């Protein structure tokens, strides 16, 4: 039987390789050996999904996909490839949800590890003064939310969309409207289990294997595959008061945002977005928000204007709604928004956190979810934000934008400063996210080429006129560009690479290091 299985594997692999026109090195027999040594969770066929991501622009076909059932499936695969040394070209990419934008979770002719199939450890909760949950890194944040809520708990810091894996967001940062207070998700982790590029399984935290711990957080998958994470929890609220107000003046808008993030007794969530030349805006809001002053709001005309929306939320439980209303009134009275544009809504905590998923459902119905997403995410130092807004919103984007443009400040003091993530070197910086969708066949303003050119214009302006701007979820073509991205942090980053993944096996799709062969 084992002879038959071996023959079948060799046949399948060489068939796959021929079909995809890949070179035929020793790859097929190696993989067949691996499969026979117990790696029966490798697939060689129908792996096209692993060559796709949310960006829908870069597609690199892997040779195989591993569907690990245990951490040792991952460590023995990596160890096996590591021991082949420079004789093998094989690389390994962990794939969480595959919501990357530019092939970061792909591995051309390599092995993609489907982290969602890793079901160990089972989610386990620890209550007490500092509650936390231990989860598999392939777990989706939405599942963690639902399980935590059964115990009256929830993670503190989120992304705007929860159908992403723990390993995927911790490899970047995980930033949303709670980050001004709690820092990004990489701040709210106590411990990790990591499989390094040599196949070693290590536990790391602020006390143990500290360098690896900080390296992996925001480490773009370069130093190890996160297999388990211990995530900080807090008491969960049941409900959310969700508020939007508009500004026509960027200076007043950003002054108010900065005022709000400076206070400990502020809102629980603070974001904002730019609105460029949109008609009927407030009418659209009416399906989910109530205008405080419906008559005045109905007369407000958003057409042909650049507006800025401050979006804030206050958590509450049914018993303390009135008290929270008073608190909100006080906070709002300190702001200078256009008075008739106050819109309020009350939703459950889950519905609030699932807001982008609700949009996903609608966009999927219209066939507008699986389109190219040429997103551009920037971290702009406070000192440059006004010049940035003037040029980008007033000039480069003056005609149209192809999706939401988020803009909100965070406090650097609430971010861990030893992680791999690089941020601008100022106390306050802004996340600006151009979340564009392209219409696949369009050659016009909605087309991919036009949006990519516009992104390029924005980047060139930042390079030319501003100091200290960093890209978030970046993708560069050369190592030189990565060096510039990391700046003074490059030495530590590359040192960590040679310590934990000396052959550059991991996360080749980030395009930072090339495997030595």
What's the min distance (Å) between Cβ of 398 and ligand FAD? 26
State the catalytic residue, choosing from 33, 120, 160, 234.
160
The rounded distance, in Å, linking the Cα atoms of 104 and 107 is: 8
DSSP element (H, E) containing 78? helix 71-83
- How crowded is residue 148: how many other Cβ atoms within 10 Å of its Cβ? 21
What's the min distance (Å) between Cβ of 345 and ligand FAD? 20
Closer residue to ligand FAD, CB minimum distance, 9 or 101: 101
Quickly list DSSP for 305-319: -EEEEEEEEEEE-GG
165: number of CA atoms within 13 Å, CB side? 28
What's the min distance (Å) between Cβ of 6 and ligand FAD? 31
191 among known catalytic residues: no
Closer residue to ligand FAD, CB minimum distance, 32 or 438: 438
Q: Which residues bind ligand FAD (CB under 6 A)?
A: 53-54, 93-100, 104-105, 115, 137, 159-161, 164-165, 167-169, 171-176, 220-221, 225-226, 356, 473, 507, 509-510
Closer residue to ligand FAD, CB minimum distance, 226 or 261: 226
The rounded distance, in Å, linking the Cα atoms of 337 and 339 is: 6
The rounded distance, in Å, linking the Cα atoms of 306 and 400 is: 10
Closer residue to ligand FAD, CB minimum distance, 100 or 257: 100
Closer residue to ligand FAD, CB minimum distance, 97 or 148: 97
99 among known catalytic residues: yes
Per-residue buried b or exposed e for 16-53, using 16+ beta carbons within 10 Å of the residue's own CB: bbeeeeeeeeebbebbbebbeeebebbbbeebeebbbb
- In 3D, which of 35, 47, 29, 10 has the Cα closest to residue 88? 29
The rounded distance, in Å, linking the Cα atoms of 326 and 324 is: 5
What's the min distance (Å) between Cβ of 300 and ligand FAD? 28
State the catalytic residue, choosing from 39, 58, 99, 182.
99
What's the min distance (Å) between Cβ of 439 and ligand FAD? 18
Q: What is the torsional sign of CA 306, 465, 259, 352?
A: positive
State the catalytic residue, choosing from 53, 139, 258, 271.
271
Closer residue to ligand FAD, CB minimum distance, 389 or 406: 406
What's the min distance (Å) between Cβ of 359 and ligand FAD? 9
271 among known catalytic residues: yes
DSSP 8-state class, residue 165: B
Rounded to a whole number, what is the distance in angstroms from the first to the last CA of the chain? 35
Q: What is the torsional sign of CA 307, 313, 319, 320?
A: negative
DSSP element (H, E) containing 195? strand 189-196
Residues with active-site annotation: 99, 160, 271
């Amino acid at each position: 039987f084992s002879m038959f299985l071996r023959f079948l594997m060799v046949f399948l692999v060489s068939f796959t390789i021929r079909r995809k026109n890949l070179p035929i090195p020793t790859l097929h027999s190696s993989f067949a050996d691996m499969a026979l040594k117990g790696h029966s969770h490798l697939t060689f066929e129908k792996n096209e999904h692993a060559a796709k991501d949310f960006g829908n622009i870069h597609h690199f076909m892997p040779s195989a996909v591993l569907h690990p059932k245990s951490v040792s499936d991952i460590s023995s695969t990596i160890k096996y490839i590591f021991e082949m040394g420079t004789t093998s070209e094989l690389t390994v990419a962990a794939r969480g949800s595959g919501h990357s934008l530019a092939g970061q979770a792909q591995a051309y002719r390599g092995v993609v590890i489907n982290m969602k199939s890793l079901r160990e450890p089972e989610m386990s909760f620890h209550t007490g003064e500092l509650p936390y949950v231990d989860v598999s890194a392939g777990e989706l944040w939405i599942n963690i939310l639902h399980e935590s809520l059964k115990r009256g708990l929830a993670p503190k810091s989120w992304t705007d969309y929860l159908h992403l894996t723990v390993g995927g967001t911790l490899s970047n940062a995980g930033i949303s409207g709670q980050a001004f207070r709690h820092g990004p998700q990489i701040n709210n982790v106590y411990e990790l289990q990591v499989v390094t590029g040599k196949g070693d399984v290590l536990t790391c935290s602020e006390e143990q294997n500290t360098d690896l711990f900080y390296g992996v957080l925001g480490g773009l998958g370069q130093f190890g595959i996160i297999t388990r994470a211990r995530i900080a929890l807090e008491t969960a609220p049941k409900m959310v008061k969700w508020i939007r107000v508009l500004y026509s003046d960027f200076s007043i808008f950003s002054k108010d945002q900065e005022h709000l993030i400076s206070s400990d007794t502020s809102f629980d969530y603070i974001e904002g977005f730019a609105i460029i030349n949109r008609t009927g805006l407030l009418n659209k809001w009416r399906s989910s928000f109530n205008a405080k002053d419906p008559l005045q709001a109905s007369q407000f005309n958003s057409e042909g204007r650049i507006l800025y929306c401050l979006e804030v939320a206050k958590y509450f439980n049914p018993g303390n709604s009135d008290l929270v209303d008073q608190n909100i009134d006080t906070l709002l009275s300190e702001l200078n928004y256009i008075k008739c544009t106050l819109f309020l809504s009350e939703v459950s905590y889950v519905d609030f956190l699932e807001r982008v998923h609700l949009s996903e459902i609608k966009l999927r119905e219209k066939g507008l979810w699986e389109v190219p997403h040429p997103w551009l995410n920037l971290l702009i130092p406070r000192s440059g934000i006004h010049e940035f807004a003037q040029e980008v919103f007033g000039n480069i984007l003056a005609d149209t934008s192809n999706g939401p443009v988020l803009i909100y400040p965070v406090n650097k003091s609430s971010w861990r400063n030893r992680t791999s993530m690089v941020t601008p070197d100022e106390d306050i910086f802004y996340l600006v996210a151009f979340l564009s969708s392209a219409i696949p066949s369009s050659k016009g303003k909605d087309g991919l080429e036009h949006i990519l050119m516009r992104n390029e214009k924005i980047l060139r302006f930042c390079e030319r006129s501003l100091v200290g701007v960093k890209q978030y979820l970046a993708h560069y073509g050369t190592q030189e560009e990565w060096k510039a991205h990391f700046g003074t942090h490059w030495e530590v980053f590359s040192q960590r690479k040679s310590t934990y993944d000396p052959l550059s096996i991991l996360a080749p799709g980030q395009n930072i290091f090339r495997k030595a062969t």
